[in-house]
Structure 1
């Protein structure tokens, strides 16, 4: 665990140095802790379409998931740090809006399946809190149609959530496939992109759904007959570390969020949602990431 934490801190420092050098930060981004001290409000964005990180309960539309519990952990530690009561104002984010919400100052943090990108000009990231990678969700009886290692996927229709790195990955790894992007905003109204893709898969309109393995398994958890589906390949094709989205250049706030991620309170949240080997999706992320590159 100590080695894992040291690696996370080192990666965070590298990300911060590269980001600050390549993309100088706007002056307003330095004020998150001060604004929270003055207002007593933490502005927190999370998803409603990303099981198990952020999702809404059927019938109630209430938020649930890892990110909700992490928000409570951040709030409680802020209260102790600032010596005052802190309330949380929740804002819904999507794959298409998440980075803009942070970069334009609408929220202080966005929690979700956000792959860390080095040299991001728009936002900063926390240290990683999870690792996963691209896989395909298919109908089990049609599993032989989708062979990501020995086929260029020519002629296959692959569903993907618009505005994600997976969409970009499909474009350069499988250019012969027909990618169908599902959007979270249709006609100005929110739509569950993964639910749209799942319905299309069931109807035979697409051959597979590409996405992060953890999110594909989360989507399966909602299905009445999950055994009718399969996720391939066994190990993901990419190695993607998730981090919290943070305002550009606010290093005091970044340091605070990182301290929460390294806390025992956060470890308990991880265990609740992801099991005893909970700091990452796989117990040995180094081995997991090495396998994806072979």
Structure 2
């Protein structure tokens, strides 16, 4: 990882530490979790690095961070037994309802932090734990040329921020937003149904690696830029229950992300160490003033 990126990451973590001091009162911990000695966490299964399946087992940043959070809750809550983690599978469509219905205590995934989403769905977001930007995965050659010349059809998952980003750049007839999942969109791209498939660059990179696509020779990632030349950047945050009564839970999570040494190590190991050239470029572009 280059020195500039290390400085950006170190500075952002230090800044969070000043906002969320390490001392937090016992009253701020959710009584339900302590009483049940169980935390329920929603995690995707289709997003490389964040939440997926390997040999039938859940793996990814969100899985490890959930266990680390349970450990911290056990220690700060003085429970008789260690707090268990119960996982629920979330999707792009179900993540909001899982949180607002009380089915889960939080949802972890590549969730773009937007104030209008908090208002629309009645949730809170945590502070960001990663940054990415909207890109398009396309086959080199004709597909790439069609997109760059404004002739190709670009697919995206419906009801996502990606669709909104594309609508600011492409005419309506060049956007196919019928897809319900990452897998559907990737299949359509492989079958030639669309010229490119759009999502956050980090997610597309993981999907390409899972399918063994050659990003040096056969495929490429095209950054979608705004009119000012800047990428459409997204900070990722946990989805948390909304309402004033849950502000203490949001503060607890933010403190955990900012100050817990294990949480910081998990973030580094999964999302920052050996960051790809593509992700480094996006991170740096999105971190500029």
TM-score tier by shorter-chain length is: 0.7 to 0.9
Deviation larger for 269-278 or 224-233: 269-278
Go from structure 1 to structure 2 and tell me whether the alpha carbon gap of 1:9 and 1:97 turns closer, same or farther (over 3 Å shift).
farther
Report the counterpart of residue 45 of structure 2 in structure 1: 48
Cα RMSD of the aligned pairs, angstroms, is 2.7
Give yes or no for contact 1:277–1:283 (8 Å, CA) kept in 2. no
Go from structure 1 to structure 2 and tell me whether the alpha carbon gap of 1:225 and 1:213 turns closer, same or farther (over 3 Å shift).
closer
Pair 1:241 & 2:242 matched: no
For these two proteins, the number of residue pairs brought into alignment is: 257
Map 1:273-288 onto structure 2 (within 5 A): 273-276=270-273, 282=280, 285=283, 287-288=284-285
Report the counterpart of residue 162 of structure 1 in structure 2: 158
Map 1:1-294 onto structure 2 (within 5 A): 3-5=11-13, 7-8=15-16, 33-57=30-54, 60-84=55-79, 85-119=82-116, 120-121=118-119, 122-142=122-142, 143-147=144-148, 151=149, 153=150, 155-184=151-180, 193-227=181-215, 228-233=218-223, 237-249=231-243, 250-262=246-258, 263-276=260-273, 282=280, 285=283, 287-289=284-286
CA apart distance, 1:53: 0.6
Give yes or no for contact 2:165–2:232 (8 Å, CA) kept in 1. no
Deviation larger for 39-48 or 113-122: 113-122
Separation in 2, partners of 1:282, 1:196: 27
Separation in 2, partners of 1:238, 1:220: 21
Give yes or no for contact 2:28–2:252 (8 Å, CA) kept in 1. no
CA apart distance, 1:9: 6.7
Give yes or no for contact 1:271–1:277 (8 Å, CA) kept in 2. no
Separation in 1, partners of 2:282, 2:196: 28
Give yes or no for contact 2:157–2:179 (8 Å, CA) kept in 1. yes
Task: Give 4+ residue runs of structure 1 displaced > 6 Å after superposition.
Answer: 9-12
Could you list the per-position Cα deviations for residues 99-122 of structure 1 after superposition, in whole angstroms to 9, with x for gaps in the alignment? 111112111100000111125221
Give yes or no for contact 1:44–1:110 (8 Å, CA) kept in 2. yes
Q: Secondary structure at the match of 2:210?
A: coil
Q: Secondary structure at the match of 2:115?
A: coil
In the superposition, the TM-score normalised over structure 1's length comes to 0.78
Deviation larger for 63-72 or 252-261: 252-261
CA apart distance, 1:62: 2.6
Q: Secondary structure at the match of 1:88?
A: strand
Give yes or no for contact 2:28–2:248 (8 Å, CA) kept in 1. no
CA apart distance, 1:173: 2.5
In the superposition, the TM-score normalised over structure 2's length comes to 0.80
Separation in 1, partners of 2:58, 2:108: 13
Gaps of 5+ in 1: 13-29, 185-192
